[in-house]
Amino acid sequence: MVASTLVVRVARKAKEARDICSFELVATENGTLPAFSAGSHVDVHLLGGLVRQYSLCNDPSETHRYAIAVLRDPASRGGSLAMHDVVKEGDTLTISAPKNHFTLAHDAKTSLLLAGGIGITPILCMAERLAKLGDEFTLHYTARARDRMAFIDRVQRSSFADKVVLHFDDGAAEQRLDINAVLSGAKTGTHLYVCGPKGFMDAVLNSARAHGWPEAQLHWEFFAADITARAGDRPFEVQIASSGHVIDVPADQTVVQALLRAGVDVMVSCEQGVCGTCVTRVLHGEVDHRDVYFTSEEQERNDQFTPCCSRAKSSRLVLDL
Ligand code: FES
C-alpha cells in the first residue's frame, strides 16, 4: 500500500545546535494534520527525487504541526544538505503521512529511553507521550558536546525534566553515559528505546543482549544505515521466479539498480535499508543483510530482504517477483 502524501508549508526553520536545524511543518490551508503516534516519522520528498525519513519530535497530541530536526551530514548523499541549504521558511514540501516503525509498547511497566545526538528526535516525542500518560521512565541523552545537543532548553523546561539525565562526551568522566551500568541497573520488565548513530545503537543493543534483555523489550530506530559499498563486495545473480529471467548484479551496483537496468522496477524510498518500502521475498539463496529495518530474527529467517542495499552470500538469489 502506498502511503498518501501531503503538501505542507515550512512555518519555521531554526538552528537548534551546531549542525542541527529544526523545521516546523504546517498544513498549507491552516488546517489540521493527520494524527501521529510517538516514534513516527515522515518521508520528506526533496529535489532530484531524494526521499528522506525524519522523525517527528513534537508532542504527539498536537495536530497543527509536525516538527522535525535534521543533522547536517556532509557525507550524506544530499538529503541533509538540501534541508539545511535549500529549504527555507515559506517553502512547501511534499511529505508522506506519518508512519511508525518505532512504537511504544503499551504493556511496559517502565521505559528506558536512550538518545545519542540527533537520535533525540523520536525519543523526545516518546518522552512527551509517556509524561502525559504519567508512566514511569528515564531518558538518558548523550551528545558529543553541549553545543551539539539539540532541544536542551526544551528538555530542561519540560514537565519531565527530572527524568532526564544529560551526558557529554567531552565532559567529566563521571557524567558520561555508562551504558552497561544503566542497562544492568534497570528494573525487570523495562522496555528500552534507543535511537542515535549506528555505533551508539550497536553498543546499546549489544550491551542489552549481553545483559539478557528479552528481544521483545528492545526497540530501536536507525537514522540511516551504513550501506556504503564494502571492500570485498562480489557480483552475484538474481533470478526472477515468475519469468526465470536471470540478472547479473555487479559488485558496484545494488540489486534495485541491476533490476531497473533489466526493466524490473522495485518501489524504493529511503534506499538505505531503513524504511522497508523495497522489501522483497526471497525463495532461494543466502542473503547478506545490510539493512536496519529487520530484526536479527527476521534477518535470520532469510526469506525476505531489502534489495536497495542488501546483497547475497550465495552466488544466486531467487526472488519472488
Ligand atoms: Fe527503504 Fe529499501 S527503500 S529499505
Q: What residue's CA is closest to ligand 1, atom 4?
A: 273
For residue 154, is pLDDT > 50?
A: yes
The domains spanning 5-96 and 111-222 adopt the same CATH topology: no
**Cα(266) to centroid of ligand 1, in Å?**
10
For residue 49, is pLDDT > 80?
A: no
**Cα(278) to centroid of ligand 1, in Å?**
5
How do 41-45 and 287-288 pair as beta strands?
unpaired
Of the candidates 296, 237, 228, 310, the residue with the CA atom closest to the CA atom of residue 268: 310
Q: Could you tell me how far CA 269 lies from the centroid of its own chain? A: 13
131-145, 225-239, 268-282: lowest mean pLDDT where?
Answer: 225-239
Q: Which residue has the higher pLDDT, 192 or 49?
A: 192
**Cα(105) to centroid of ligand 1, in Å?**
24
48-52, 115-119, 189-193, 251-255: lowest mean pLDDT where?
Answer: 48-52
**Cα(124) to centroid of ligand 1, in Å?**
25
For residue 3, the model assigns a pLDDT of: 46
In the chain, the percentage of residues whose pLDDT exceeds 90 is: 70
- Does ligand 1 have an atom closer than 6 angstroms to the CB of 255? no
For residue 225, the model assigns a pLDDT of: 47
Q: Which residue has the higher pLDDT, 88 or 267?
A: 88
- Does ligand 1 have an atom closer than 6 angstroms to the CB of 57? no
Ligand 1, atom nearest to 274 Cα: 4
For residue 2, the model assigns a pLDDT of: 41
CATH topology assigned to domain 5-96: Elongation Factor Tu (Ef-tu); domain 3 (2.40.30)
Of the candidates 74, 35, 51, the residue with the CA atom closest to the CA atom of residue 2: 51
For residue 1, the model assigns a pLDDT of: 38
- Give, for ligand 1, the residue of 41, 268, 289 to mutate: max count of ligand atoms closer than 8 Å to Cβ: 268
- Say if CB 98 and CB 117 are below 8 A apart: no
For residue 224, the model assigns a pLDDT of: 55
Question: In terms of CATH architecture, what is 111-222?
Answer: 3-Layer(aba) Sandwich (3.40)
What are the sequence ranges of the domains in the chain? 5-96, 111-222, 236-319
CATH topology assigned to domain 236-319: Ubiquitin-like (UB roll) (3.10.20)
SS (H, E, C) 108-142: CCEEEEEEEHHHHHHHHHHHHHHHHHCCEEEEEEE
As a whole number, mean pLDDT of residues 138-160 equals: 96
Ligand 1, atom nearest to 271 Cα: 3
- Does ligand 1 have an atom closer than 6 angstroms to the CB of 319? no
- Does ligand 1 have an atom closer than 6 angstroms to the CB of 43? no
For residue 227, is pLDDT > 80?
A: no
- Does ligand 1 have an atom closer than 6 angstroms to the CB of 273? yes
For residue 231, the model assigns a pLDDT of: 60
Q: Categorize the per-residue pLDDT at 226 as very low, low, confident or very high, splitting at 50, 70 and 90.
A: very low
- Does ligand 1 have an atom closer than 6 angstroms to the CB of 254? no
CA–CA separation, 261 and 110 (whole Å): 50
Of the candidates 41, 92, 31, the residue with the CA atom closest to the CA atom of residue 67: 41
Helix (H, G, I), strand (E, B) or coil at 87: coil
- Does ligand 1 have an atom closer than 6 angstroms to the CB of 60? no
